[in-house]
């Protein structure tokens, strides 16, 4: 008899994990995302599963992929499973592996940009649909999987334009799922609304002169007053969050100074300086009153201080999480059947869901990743393969529940 090998047999990798890692290796990273590579990959997946595939160019070089599984009653409002294909830039020197190698550690942790945000969810949709279709399941409602560009740069040249297209309107969306966040605990987080992102640019004009003099009413003096006003408010909101035992990040307003510009050379006092703030406003805040606050801060900083909006979202629509709502009831009941604990929150940042809700489509943000640190946009972003595979099984319960809502 041949001598039995003492080497451990390597467990074959699940095909879904292989597809996930292949998708991660496509460098859809800004500022020059390889959208064509992603589209080719997604078309191959649709062909393998046996689903219809189409693209809509919403802006030159920006295409939305639509993969469709037609339901038994195509007249009913449909289910939208949305994800974005682009990912944010990386600092390779801060990573333990190549950020686009999709290396898998011995414990199953897969490292790559986009593992959590949000290529995992896009593949989980596809693999769940693959399983359900292979099992011969059929549903009342049509299911659309969309893969959109440019979410990481605000969605302006992606979902926002797509909603205006006739191709989107013909999809007859009734309910949508989009991205959420990982949960470090055993529970799963589901998001039913978002804070309003306001990107504010403040310009301060003042007297110029030589860098050796005490010049009055300089742009820098006014800039300092503006910064103090904004950051003082930031401190108040941070204190509110930390002192309360029940508030989450999505329920307070954050302000961060993200841009600073001014000056021509070291010995010249500039006549203009600019400062940019990223503000995320909680849904409970009166937006008219908040803009009045910004106006007052600028007026109190001195003459010739103006503000403008680079981005200003004013919709505060929330998706119902009441059991009487058929969509929420279907989603939450499917999760409960798996023994999942759901934590309902306001999303602290911004996703394409805000455009959907603003247009009147109920949407939930959900990424089935528990017992996982939140690492979106962070160095060494990873997702464990077991968590990833469990997410596919979760969608195998959620998708039928939504697609059969009466």
- Which residue among the candidates 86, 117, 150, 194 is catalytic per the annotation? 86
Are the C-beta atoms of residues 78 and 172 closer than 8 Å to each other? yes
Are the C-beta atoms of residues 385 and 369 closer than 8 Å to each other? no
- Which residue among the candidates 150, 151, 152, 352 is catalytic per the annotation? 151
CA distances from 84 to 34, 62, 192 (A): 13, 12, 19
Q: Is 314 part of the annotated catalytic residue set? A: no
Q: Which residues of 364-394 are buried (b: 16+ CB within 10 A; e: fewer)?
A: bbbbbbbebeebbeeebbbbbbebbbbbbeb
Using DSSP's 3-state secondary structure scheme, residue 16 falls into helix
* DSSP assignments along 164-222, one per residue: TSHHHHHT-EEEEEE----BSSSSEEEEEEEPEEEEEEEEEE---EETTS--SS-HHHH
Q: Is 151 part of the annotated catalytic residue set? A: yes
Continuous segment of H or E residues that includes residue 365: strand 363-366
Rounded CA separation 73/141 (Å): 6
Catalytic residue numbers read: 86, 151
């Amino acid at each position: 008899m041949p001598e039995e090998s003492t080497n451990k047999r390597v467990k074959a990798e699940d095909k879904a994990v292989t597809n996930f890692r292949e998708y991660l290796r496509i460098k859809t990273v800004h500022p020059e995302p390889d959208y064509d590579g992603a589209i080719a990959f997604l078309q191959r997946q649709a062909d393998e599963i046996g689903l219809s595939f189409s693209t809509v160019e919403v802006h030159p070089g920006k295409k939305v992929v639509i993969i469709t599984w037609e339901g038994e009653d195509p007249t009913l409002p449909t289910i939208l499973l949305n994800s974005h294909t682009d990912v944010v830039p990386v600092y390779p020197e801060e990573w333990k592996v190549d950020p686009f190698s999709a290396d898998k550690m011995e414990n199953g942790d897969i490292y790559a940009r986009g593992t959590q945000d949000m290529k995992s969810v896009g593949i989980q949709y596809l693999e769940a649909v693959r399983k359900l279709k292979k099992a011969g399941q059929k549903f009342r409602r049509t299911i659309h999987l969309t893969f959109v560009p440019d979410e990481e740069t605000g969605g302006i040249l992606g979902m926002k334009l797509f909603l205006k297209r006739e191709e989107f309107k013909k999809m007859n969306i009734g309910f949508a799922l989009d991205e959420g966040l990982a949960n470090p605990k055993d529970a799963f987080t589901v998001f039913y609304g978002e804070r309003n992102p306001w990107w504010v640019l403040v310009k301060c004009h003042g007297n110029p002169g030589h860098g050796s003099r005490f010049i009055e009413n300089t742009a820098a003096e006014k800039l300092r007053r503006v910064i103090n006003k904004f950051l003082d408010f930031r401190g108040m909101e941070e204190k509110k969050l930390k002192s309360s035992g029940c508030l989450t990040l999505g329920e307070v307003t954050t302000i961060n100074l993200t841009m600073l510009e001014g000056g021509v050379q070291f010995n010249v006092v500039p006549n203009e300086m600019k400062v940019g703030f990223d503000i995320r406003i909680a849904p409970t805040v009166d937006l008219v009153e908040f803009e009045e606050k910004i106006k007052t801060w600028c007026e109190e900083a001195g003459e010739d201080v103006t503000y403008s909006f680079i981005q200003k979202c004013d919709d505060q629509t929330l998706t119902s999480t009441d059991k009487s709502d058929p969509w929420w009831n279907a989603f939450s009941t499917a999760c409960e059947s798996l023994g999942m604990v759901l934590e309902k929150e306001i999303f602290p940042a911004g996703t394409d869901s805000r455009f959907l809700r603003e247009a009147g489509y109920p949407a939930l943000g959900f990424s089935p990743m528990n017992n996982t640190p939140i690492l979106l946009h962070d160095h060494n972003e990873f997702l464990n393969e077991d968590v990833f595979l469990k997410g596919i099984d979760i969608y195998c319960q959620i998708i039928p529940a939504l697609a059969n809502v009466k």
